[in-house]
Amino acid sequence: MWFVSLLILIFILGIIILVHEFGHFIWAKIFKVHIYEFSIGMGPIIFTHKGKDKIDYNIRAIPLGGFVSMAGEVYEDDEKIDKKSFMCNKPWWQRIIILIAGVTNNFIMALLILFVSALIWGGNISLPVVDDVVEDFPMEKAGIVAGDKILEINGRKVNNWDAAQILFIMESKDNKYELKIENKDGKVRDVIVQPKIEKGDDGIETKTFGIYIKTDTLTGFLGSIKYAFLKFGSIVESMALTIEGLFTGKISLQALSGPVGMYEVIDSSIGYGLNYMLYIVAFLSINVGFINILPFPAFDGGRVFFLIIEKIKGSPVNSKFENTCHLIGFALLILLSI
């Protein structure tokens, strides 16, 4: 069974990476940037094909990552290439489009999957509205009842349950969470909830609040479009909150998942059916896009950041400095993955 899960993970990552890299590739071709290679995976080449466009199309042995190798990504690096074909010599706006095209493709892919999934099975949106509480648990003891709506958690406004869950995961002073609650009559009150702390067999602590959340199901063409954008927005917001929590120390590094974590998610999801698997693909596609647009060296967002600096200062950033930053960033990413 583990082998099947591994193959599914490789297939899913391959599709997500292919879609991402195709975004860079197609816009580089449109803007006539010289392309050496289009590769899926990393490491040794196990299959190669030279197209009529003289580009090497490769599949590499390690099914993690992928890349489009273009001439002059940072500086003029090949004397055999026409200077007009270097990416670094293209207009600023063209370079921006090429760099963000991969992320854009990942986001479009996720929206389409969420839309199609909702069109077939209906799309479930979890709202920050209490459907029921568990007797003798923290929420019930704090006076929260069915029908109450959570407006804020520790001063942060809550628009969806995905974001609310991240705010509940974040560490809070004395393990107490200040909630702003609106009841069915529209009256607003403040309550303090202190969750139970339970430690699992793996030693990881979890917080238990004792609450069930209301879920709405959106169906039909327009409902599916609404679901796709609402779910997309809530996932992006929860990812942004997670990054914030990691930087502020309110979320442990244990919350991060590398390749092993992704395998475990896929392995545990197989029994839930095609609908859930499609959601995981959409989630991972958004994840890849979101992470890549962060202004960190080696990411697409890091390269965009250097282009923004170039635009502000009116001249290119020192190419050797930029290249060194990207190499260091890539090394740090490998270490983090390990």
| Residues 249, 286: Cα–Cα separation, whole Å | 24
| Residues 169, 171: Cα–Cα separation, whole Å | 6
User: Do the beta carbons of residue 26 and residue 102 sit within 8 Å?
Assistant: no
What is each CA distance from 154 to 92, 113, 142, 198, 205, in whole angstroms?
A: 42, 34, 15, 22, 21
Which residues fall within 8 angstroms of residue 257, CB to CB, at 6 or more apart? 264, 265
Cα first-last separation, the chain: 24
> Torsion angle of alpha carbons 21, 22, 27, 29, nearest 10°?
110
> DSSP string of 163-224?
HHHHHHHS--GGG-EEEEEE-TTS-EEEEEE--EEEE-TTS-EEEE--EEEEEEEE-HHHHH
21 counts as catalytic:
yes
| Residues 292, 300: Cα–Cα separation, whole Å | 5
> Torsion angle of alpha carbons 217, 218, 219, 223, nearest 10°?
180
The catalytic residue among 21, 73, 152, 322 is: 21
For tokens 């327009």, the residue is: 222
| Residues 239, 129: Cα–Cα separation, whole Å | 21
Structure tokens given for 158:
């809550």
- Amino acid 28 reads A
- Amino acid 33 reads V
Residues designated as active site:
21
